[in-house]
């Protein structure tokens, strides 16, 4: 049974930082592209960042580029999202997701991912 468990969420003031982790089990982690998505109240789930199997290629939404950094540790089956210079508009539930087969052109698509975590809340106050 595949499990993705996010942690590291919380409340922070604008300009602060948080580091999210997503621990994976029940799958061959190094064979999966890993992504982070978020869903704010009243909005649809949106792409945040993704990293390919080896971590060699990384993709970011324009809204977080330069502030967020995705990384992975295949030895520990964990993907991270370092979030710096946080803004109130970053407030959302953050989800990690895993995709076995995905084309780079579709890496931001929520329908392309096979497995999802339960999410962790991030709240940024002004």
Kindly give the confidence (pLDDT) of every residue in the chain, 126 residues in length, as a single tens digit, with 9 standing for 90 and above. Answer: 999 999 999 999 999 999 999 999 999 999 999 999 999 999 999 999 999 999 899 999 999 999 999 999 999 999 999 999 999 999 999 999 999 999 989 999 999 999 999 999 999 999
Give, in degrees to the nearest 5, the angle at Cα 103 between 100 and 106: 105
**Phi/psi at 64 (5° precision):** -120, -5
Distance CA 74, CA 18 (A): 21
Contact (CB, 8 A) for 121 and 58: no
Q: Which helix (H) or strand (E) holds 116?
A: strand 115-116
CB 22 within 8 A of CB 117: yes
Query: According to the model, what pLDDT value does residue 39 have?
Result: 98
Q: How far apart are the C-alpha atoms of 31 and 52, rounded to whole Å?
A: 9
């Amino acid at each position: 049974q595949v499990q993705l468990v996010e942690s590291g969420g919380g409340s922070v003031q604008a300009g602060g930082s948080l580091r999210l982790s997503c621990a994976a089990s029940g799958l061959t982690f190094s064979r999966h592209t890993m992504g982070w998505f978020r869903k704010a109240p009243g909005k649809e789930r949106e792409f945040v960042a993704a990293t390919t199997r080896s971590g060699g290629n990384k993709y970011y939404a324009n809204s977080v580029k330069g502030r967020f950094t995705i990384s992975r540790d295949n030895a520990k089956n964990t993907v991270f999202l370092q979030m710096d210079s946080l803004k109130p508009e970053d407030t959302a539930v953050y989800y990690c997701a895993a995709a076995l087969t995905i084309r780079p052109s579709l890496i931001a698509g929520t329908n392309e991912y096979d497995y999802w975590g339960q999410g962790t809340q991030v709240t940024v106050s002004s």
